[in-house]
Amino acid sequence: MAEKKKENQATHGPQAPPELINKLKDRDSSVRQNAAQTIGVMGDEKAVDFLIAVLKDDNRFVRQEAVWALGKIGGARALEALTQALVEEKDEFVKDSMKKVVERQQPT
């Protein structure tokens, strides 16, 4: 039983604290960017909906970090959101990253 719990923790990663999630809405784009990056490193699946919202951020670097974080976390919701956002994204840099993440997430 302890092994199964350990396995789940490794798969899901630690949970991002609410203070970190709130930083995704900060006025400062560098704070939002760093928050998205940290959440991606943590691999918090519960933060996916918050990261999906960040895909509409005004700052392309913030969106880019959200793309990376969603790719790191993975899952069907993240893949669906990235696929939809790809259609609306105007920045080629972000769009290219979205394409790469979506390709990696596609089941083979």
* pTM, to two decimals: 0.83
Tokens of 52: 């999906």
13 confidence band (pLDDT: 50, 70, 90): low
Tokens of 55: 């895909």
Which residue range is the domain that position 40 belongs to?
2-105
Q: What is the CATH number of the domain that holds 79?
A: 1.25.10.10
Decide if pLDDT at 101 tops 90: yes
Q: How far is CA 15 from CA 43, 57, 77, in A?
A: 8, 23, 17
Q: Residues of 78-105 as b/e, b for ≥16 C-beta within 10 angstroms?
A: bbebbeebbeebeeeebbebbeebbeeb
Which SS3 state, helix, strand or coil, does residue 107 take?
coil
Can you tell me the mean pLDDT for 64-74?
96
Report yes or no: 75 and 107 within 8 Å, Cβ to Cβ: no
| 8-22, 35-49, 61-75: least confidently modelled range | 8-22
Decide if pLDDT at 4 tops 80: no
Provide the domain count of the chain: 1
